[in-house]
Amino acid sequence: MPSALIICTEVFANGGIQRFNRTLLDACGGLGIACAVLSLNDSAETVRAHAHDHRHHVAGFGGNRVRFAAAVARQLLFGRHRRVLIGHINFLTLCVGVLALRPLRAATLMLVAHGIEVWSGIGSRRALALGRVDRILCVSHYTRRRIDEQVPGLDDRRFVIFPNALADSWRQTVPADFTRPVPQRFILSVTRLEPGDRYKGVATVIEAFSMLSDAEVHYLIVGHGRDADFLRAMAARFGVADRVHFVRGVSDAELIGLYRRCEAFVLPSGKEGFGIVFLEAMFFGAPVIAAREKGAVDVVRDGETGIAVPFGDVIAVKRAIERLAADSVLRERLRANGLSLVTDEGPFTFASFARRCLAQLGPETADAA
């Protein structure tokens, strides 16, 4: 059975990278690729609670860097994995350094470049280490471009655009009724609400929302975090506190209902490495409004699969919401095109993702990019 070693930050938690890792394990499991996973931040208890796929072996180190580094070194020096997938650039120099002690290694070394962690500050040591990597799996074209700008001269053939996909679990989730009262008509955002996440653009949506002529529409923000009070105060200042609702503790099953009912899914985020949340919205039929920034442009193409606006442009967000509300033909076209990305032969289906996994981690294509 082909095997791969995956060295990552975390698997069983919220967040785009964690979700990518889970999708990767699901896909590998389906393909019969057994993975040994070394996860820095997952605790042993978390792993026991979540790791039900017995084809993989997940080891969690609960944030203990020393034990984690020792385990990585042991696996790289003595393991017999044919593929080594580094899930975060922070581990790159460690892995390359250890592998330098094993010059006759046979494993293909790959790095997953998600987004913000590689968009700046790669530095000379990591740049040198990147030269030792066989393949760089970039989740978006923007991520690839940013690496290229910082480390010019890397062979084109080393880069692989390896976008994320809608997790298969969504397909199997049975929608549940949302037990809390939901406004008749609403637009929706789903995001973390931390002060460091203001690039998600929720503040822009609140300001744009306050300018809408249609006072029947509400704004639901699903998520929680320390920035909720700032955003609440902002909604109050714009005079829409009674129509902006912060909702937390929403299960995936409940979220499906919200995606299906919303008039638009709006997240004009400025720093999405890929923007998997847009795929979720598309899968459940929500027309999407996103910012024309970074990795999101691979998913949300203006006028085709959604409406793309400049980041921070409150007037453009307002117009996009109004346009969607007024133009049912546009709405239906965006819905249909969005859905086509995540169903059948769409590029962001789980099946497509699995094919990409097979190409990179499978047995026959070890050296094909």
Partner 1 sequence: MCGILGLYVPGGALPPTEEFIPALERLRLRGPDGSGTWRDESVLLGHRRLAVVDLSAAGRQPMESTDRRFVITFNGEIYNHLQLRHELDPVGGWRGTCDTETLLEAYRTWGIGCLERLNGMFAFAVWDRMERTLFVARDRMGLKPLYYSHTNGRFGFASRPGALNLLMNQGALSIDAEALRIYLEVGYIPAPLSFHEHMQKLPAAHYLLIDARGLRRVRYWDYRAIVPDRHRTVRSEGELLEEFDELLKDSVRVRLMSDVPLGAFLSGGVDSALVVGAMKRAGVAHPKVFTISFNEAAFDEGPAAAQIARHFDVDHVQETLDVDSLVDLLPAYIQEFDEPFADSSAFPTLAVSRLARRHVSVVLSGDGADELFGGYHYYPIIGRIAPLLGRHPRFRHVAQRLLAALPLHRLKLLAGALGSRDAVTLFHYLRSVSKDYPTLLSADAAASAGSETWFEQFASCFAMDLSAEEIAMRLDAGLTLPDLFLQKVDVATMAFSLEARCPMLDYRLVEWGMRLPLSFKLRNGETKYLLKKALCRDLPAGWVHRPKMGFGVPLAAWLRGPLKAWADDLLHDASLLSRLPLERSRICELRRLQLAGEREAHPLLWSVLMLLCFVQSHDAKRVAPFAYREVA
Residues that bind partner 1 (CB under 8 A): 195, 198-199, 203-204, 207, 210-211, 213, 215, 230, 233-234, 237, 239, 270-271, 293, 310-316, 318
For the bound state, the minimum distance from the C-beta of residue 230 to partner 1, rounded and expressed in Å, comes to 7
- The beta strands (E) that lie in 205-335 are given as 218-222, 244-247, 264-267, 288-291, 307-309
* Three-class DSSP category at 6: strand
Contact predicate 223/248, CB 8 Å: yes
Q: Which is nearer to partner 1, 211 or 241 (CB)?
A: 211
Toward partner 1, which CB reaches closer, 11 or 235?
Answer: 235
Nearer to partner 1, 138 or 203 (CB): 203
Contacts of 205 (CB under 8 A, 6+ apart): 187, 189, 219, 266, 267, 268, 317
Q: Tell me the residue type at 299.
A: V
Nearer to partner 1, 181 or 239 (CB): 239
CA 239 vs. chain centroid, Å, equals 33
Q: 258 or 314, CB closer to partner 1? A: 314
CB of 316 to partner 1, least distance (A): 8
Shortest reach from residue 66's CB to partner 1, in Å = 20
Angle between helices 123-130 and 92-99 (to 10 degrees): 50
Strands (E) in 176-277, as ranges, are 186-190, 218-222, 244-247, 264-267
Any residues with CB less than 8 A from the CB of 355 and at least 6 apart, and which? none
Of 170 and 230, which has the nearer Cβ to partner 1? 230
- C-alpha 68/C-alpha 7 separation (Å) is 9
Minimal distance, residue 320 CB to partner 1, in Å? 13
Closest distance to partner 1 from the beta carbon of 126 (Å): 17
CB of 270 to partner 1, least distance (A): 4
Mark residue 284 as left, alpha or beta (left: phi above 0; alpha: psi -120 to 50; beta: remaining): alpha
Q: Which is nearer to partner 1, 280 or 298 (CB)?
A: 298
What is the rounded CA–CA span in Å between residue 74 and residue 70? 6
CA distance 276 to 44: 27
- Residue nearer to partner 1 on the CB measure, 137 or 316: 316
Shortest reach from residue 211's CB to partner 1, in Å: 4
Q: Least separation, in Å, of the C-beta of 239 and partner 1?
A: 8
Give 164 or 204: the residue with its C-beta nearer to partner 1. 204
Minimum distance from residue 202 beta carbon to partner 1 (Å):
8
**CA pair distance 22, 339, nearest whole angstrom:** 22
What 22-25 contacts at long range (C-beta under 8 Å, 24+ apart), as own/partner pairs, is: 22/167, 23/164, 23/165, 23/167, 23/168, 23/350, 23/353, 24/85, 24/357, 25/53, 25/56
The CB density around residue 239, as the number of other CB atoms within 10 Å, is 9
Q: Is-contact 2 361, C-beta < 8 A?
A: yes
> Residue 345 is encoded by which pair of tokens?
């032969």
Nearer to partner 1 among residue 199 and residue 278 (C-beta): 199
- Tell me the closest approach of the beta carbon of residue 76 to partner 1, in angstroms: 29
